[in-house]
Amino acid sequence: MELTLHVWRQDGPDSPGRMEIYKADDVSSDMSFLEMLDVVNERLLEEGKEPIAFDHDCREGICGTCSLMINGVAHGPEEGTTVCQLHMRKFKDGDSIYIEPWRARAFPILRDLVVDRGAFDRIIEAGGYVSVATGNAPDANTIPVNRDESEMAMDAAACIGCGACVASCPNGSAMLFVAAKVAHLGHLPQGQPERQKRVLAMVEQMDKEGFGYCTNHYECEAVCPKEIPRKFIAEMNRDYLKAGMAAE
Amino acid sequence: MAARKPRMNRLARTLQSSIGSKFLMSVTGILLLLFVIAHMLGNLQVFAGPDQLNAYAAKLQSLGPLLWVVRLGLLAIFVVHIGAAIRVTNSNRAARPVAYVYPGSVQSTFAGRTMMMSGLIVLAFLIYHVLHFTVGTTNPDHFHLVDETGRHDVYSMVVMGFSQWPIALVYVVANILVGVHISHGASSAFQTLGVTHPRLAFLKQGFGPGIATLIVVGNLSMPLACLFGLVQLPA
C-alpha cells in the first residue's frame, strides 16, 4: 500500500507545531498502525531526520498508552480498538491519513504526538482509591458482592485511561474517564465508605485540571476502546449531585 | 467576614462545578420546556375561534399579581439557564485551545453542537415576540383591538400579525430553531440529572426529538394557518 501521512510535528511543549507530509510507500496491510509508523521512523532515521515521537507500550490494546487522532477520530476508524490494535487493512491504497495528538488544554503536548496525561493521575490521586487495612489478605468472600453489581464494576473498570474520551469530546471533557473510575469503586461494597468523598474530590480535581463540561454528545462512548457506556456518566452526575447536596 | 455555614459552602461549590452548572441548565431547561408546551396548548385555542382564544387571554390577564409571579419566575429561570450556558460554553472553548486540523465526529448531532447558536437566536426571537404580542411595540396597529364584548381581541391580533408573511416567516424559522434546541436539550437534561433506569431510557433518547417535533408542528400550524387563510378574521 502507498499512503500519504499528514503528521503533527512539534519539537517541544512550547514550540509551535506544524503538519508535515510523509510518503509511506511499502506498507503491508497486515501491519498495525504503530508498526507502519515504526517503518516510517526507520526511514527517517536512515535519512538522518528526527523520527516521529508517539506513545506506545504494550501494543496489545490493554495498557492505554497509545493515543493518536486518526482522520479526526480517536484511535482511528475501528470501533472498540486502541490504535496499536488497528491494522492497515482498515485503510485503502492511496489514502491520505491525518495523524494528530490528543488535543486538550489539560493534556499539554510534550513532543509531536506525545501528550502529558498527568491530569488523569491527579484525578485518581484525588479519590480514585479505597482505603483498606494493610496486613494479611482478608479471607475470600468475607464481604459478599452482588453479582450484577460486580459485573457493572468490571464494565467500568475496563477503562484503561487512554484519554480518547477527552480527545474526541467536542468540549475536551473527561467525564467518561472520571465516571468509569467513580463507578468501578462505587459499585462495590468496598467503595461505599468513601463514595461521597470520592466523587466530590474527583470531580473537583477534574474541573481544576481544565477539562471541559459534558454536553452529552457521546463522542467519547463512540471512540472508547473499552466501550465504556454513557450510563456511567449519568450515574456519576447523580452520585455527585446527591453527595453535593447532602449535609457535610 | 463571618464564615458561612459549611453546608452552604458545599452546596455552593457543587452548583458552581461543571456538573452543577449542567444541573442548573437541565432543571431550568425542563421548566422552560414545560412552559413551551403549556404556551403552545394555550395558543392552539386560536383554532377554536375568536371567542375561545379571547376568553382564555382575558382569564390569563385576570390573574393579576399571579401573572407577574409567573412572568418574573420565567425571567429568573431564563437568567439561570443562560448564565449556566455561558459558563459551560466558556469552559468548553477554553478546554481545547488548539483545534484539530482534521475535524471529525462519530455520533454527535447538529442540534447538540449548535446549542449556543440556536439558543441565542431563540433568545433574540423571544425579545421580538414579547415586544410584538405582549408589549405591543412592534405592531401597535393590531395590538389595541377590542372584540364586541370589550375584551382584548387577541384572535384578530394573531391573525393580522401572521397574515403578513415576513412576520410569519420569523415565527416559522424561530420555532424550527426552538425545536432543534429542544431535540438535544430535552434528552440531554435527563442524562445530566442522572436517569439510568432502563425503563426511563426513552427520556434520554427519543423523548427530545419526539417532543421537539410535536412542538414544531404545533407552533408552526398557527402562523401557517393564518398565512394561508385557514384561520381568518371574524366576519
The answer to whether residues B78 and B32 touch, using CB atoms and an 8 Å cutoff, is yes
CB contact under 8 A, B92 and A210: no
Q: How far is CA B188 from the centre of its chain?
A: 16
Q: Is B107 within 8 Å of chain A by CB?
A: yes
Q: How many CB atoms lie within 10 A of CB A94?
A: 9
Residue in B20, B103, B192 nearest the CB of A216: B192
Three-state secondary structure call for residue A11: coil
> Which residues in chain B have Cβ-Cβ distances shorter than 8 Å to A171?
91-92, 95-96
First-last CA distance in chain A: 62
Cell reading at B21: 452548572
Residue B6: per-residue pLDDT? 55
pLDDT band (50, 70, 90) for residue B148: confident
Give the H or E element holding residue B93.
Answer: helix B65-95
Q: How many CB atoms lie within 10 A of CB B156?
A: 18
Residue B80: per-residue pLDDT? 98
Amino acid type, B68: W
Torsion of CA B27, B197, B178, B55, to 10 degrees: -70
Residue B5: per-residue pLDDT? 56
pLDDT band (50, 70, 90) for residue A132: confident
pLDDT of A153 strictly over 90: yes
Give the H or E element holding residue A243.
Answer: helix A231-245
Residue A138: per-residue pLDDT? 83
Least Cα distance to A19 among B99, B95, B92 occurs for B99
Q: How many helices (H) and strands (E) does chain B have?
A: 11, 0
Residue B3: per-residue pLDDT? 55
> Which residues in chain B have Cβ-Cβ distances shorter than 8 Å to A238?
193-194, 196
CB contact under 8 A, B13 and A204: yes
All structural domains of chain A? 3-100 (3.10.20.30), 118-245 (1.10.1060.10)
Q: Which of A100, A208, A235, A237 best tests the B interface by mutation, with the highest count of B CBs <10 A?
A: A237
Q: Is B11 within 8 Å of chain A by CB?
A: yes
Q: Is A187 within 8 Å of chain B by CB?
A: no
The answer to whether residues B14 and A242 touch, using CB atoms and an 8 Å cutoff, is no
Burial (Cβ within 10 Å: 0-12, 13-18, ≥19) of residue A37: buried
Task: Give residues 1 to 40 of A whose Cβ lies within 8 Å of B.
Answer: 6, 8, 19
Which residue of A lies nearest to B188 if distances are taken between CA atoms? A216
Torsion of CA A202, A207, A210, A212, to 10 degrees: 110
Domain B20-92+112-227 fold is 3 helical TM bundles of succinate and fumarate reductases (1.20.1300)
Q: How far apart are alpha carbons B101 and B111 in whole angstroms? A: 23
> Which residues in chain A have Cβ-Cβ distances shorter than 8 Å to B100?
69, 72, 100, 103
Residue A248: per-residue pLDDT? 67
The answer to whether residues A164 and A220 touch, using CB atoms and an 8 Å cutoff, is yes
Which residue of B lies nearest to A213 if distances are taken between CA atoms? B18
Q: What percent of chain B has pLDDT over 70?
A: 97
CB contact under 8 A, B102 and A203: no
ipTM, interface predicted TM-score of the complex: 0.92
Q: How far apart are alpha carbons B122 and B78 in whole angstroms? A: 12
> Which residues in chain A have Cβ-Cβ distances shorter than 8 Å to B194?
234-239, 241
The C-alpha cell 462505587 sits at A186
Q: Domain ranges for chain B, please list them.
A: 20-92+112-227
CB contact under 8 A, B19 and A236: yes
Beta bridge partners of A114: A111
CB contact under 8 A, B108 and A240: no
> Which residues in chain A have Cβ-Cβ distances shorter than 8 Å to B97?
105
Q: What is the pLDDT of residues B40-70, one digit of tens each?
A: 999 999 999 999 999 999 999 999 899 999 9
pLDDT band (50, 70, 90) for residue A133: confident
CA distance, residue B9 to nearest chain A CA (Å): 9
CB contact under 8 A, A213 and B22: yes
What pairing do the DSSP bridges indicate for beta strands A96-100 and A69-70?
antiparallel
Query: Which whole number is the average pLDDT over A125-130?
Result: 96
Q: How far apart are alpha carbons A246 and B16 in whole angstroms? A: 16
A·B CB contacts under 8 A: 154
Residue A203: per-residue pLDDT? 97
